[in-house]
Amino acid sequence: MVRDLYGAELKNDFLDEDISNLALTGTALANRRNRREPLVTVRIYLEGGFQGSTKSNCRQGFRLFFGKVIPRGSFRVIASGDRSAAFRDFCSALKQNQDDYIILLVDSEEGVSAGPGQYLGSREGDKWHRPAGAHDDQGDLIVQAMESWFLADRPALTDYYGQGFAVDSLPGQSNIEVISKQDVFTALQQSSKKTQKGEYHKTRHGFDLVKRIDPNRVRTACRQADRPLVVLQRETAG
């Protein structure tokens, strides 16, 4: 059963959209924009950062990450805290910031066989209804967690942790998105435990690593990561 933010039962129409069709949405959006006016601001609502300093670190980390792909100043990152809060903020922003392009980005927490829309519409604990006016490509996933993206850029991990980092302790699986969230965490902890920084810790190390990883490595190793980057590049293109 799918419910809206007020608990009313709704039809689940948060449908999946394949990457190959994202350009169609961009064409439709272009029709409602005056290209002689400044570009709209993209707002990215993230799951992450649960209190003051961690929210600030989350914003800064992802701002630097996305800033390697799209022009700085063309987007804002909002760290909402938990995934439910991110969805609530996303829904509110769609109503309050109609001149901006609003994106939701949350962890999948597990392996994903369906597209983001179908997954978010059916996942136990979510079952989110696509808000009125939202496009299918405005809901995206980090599969399976932020830490999964770190495995895509081993040079960044090695450089960050320095001497004592056991890169050989990381999974050899080339398809990073099939590695369970727990296995990712365990591998990061095991590989970093003998370094000066110590065992991987999400709030102490995680957002510093987000700043350092290469989006092109991530999008190559993590299929679902390419989707939001395609959308961001489209929406901030001149």
What are the mean pLDDT values of the chain's consecutive 10-residue runs (238 residues total)?
Answer: 41 42 44 47 94 91 98 96 96 94 97 90 93 92 97 98 97 94 98 98 97 97 95 92
Spatial CB neighbours of 129, under 8 Å, sequence gap ≥ 6 = 2, 3, 4, 10, 11, 12, 13, 14, 121
* Residue 107, strand partner residues: 142
List of residues 6+ apart from 28 with CB closer than 8 A:
none
Q: DSSP code of 104?
A: E
Q: Where would I find the beta strands (DSSP E) of 40-166?
A: 42-46, 75-79, 101-107, 139-142
**Structure-block tokens of residue 28:** 């439709």
Half-sphere exposure of 188 (CA within 13 A, CB side): 27
Query: In this structure, what token pair is assigned to residue 157?
Result: 């991990």
* CA–CA distance, 233 with 228 (Å, rounded to integer): 9
pTM: 0.84
**Under 8 Å between Cβ of 88 and 5:** yes
Taking a C-beta distance cutoff of 8 angstroms, is the pair 119, 4 a contact? no
- The predicted structure's pLDDT at residue 133: 86
Confidence (pLDDT) at 117: 85
The one-character DSSP state at 94 is H
**CA 183 and chain centroid, separation:** 20
Cis peptide before 233 (omega within 30 of 0): no
Predicted confidence at residue 51, as pLDDT, reads: 78
Phi/psi zone of residue 40: left (φ > 0), alpha (ψ -120 to 50 degrees), beta? Answer: beta
pLDDT at residue 224, rounded to an integer: 94
Are the beta carbons of 210 and 62 closer than 8 angstroms? Answer: yes
Query: How confident is the model at residue 50, as a pLDDT?
Result: 82
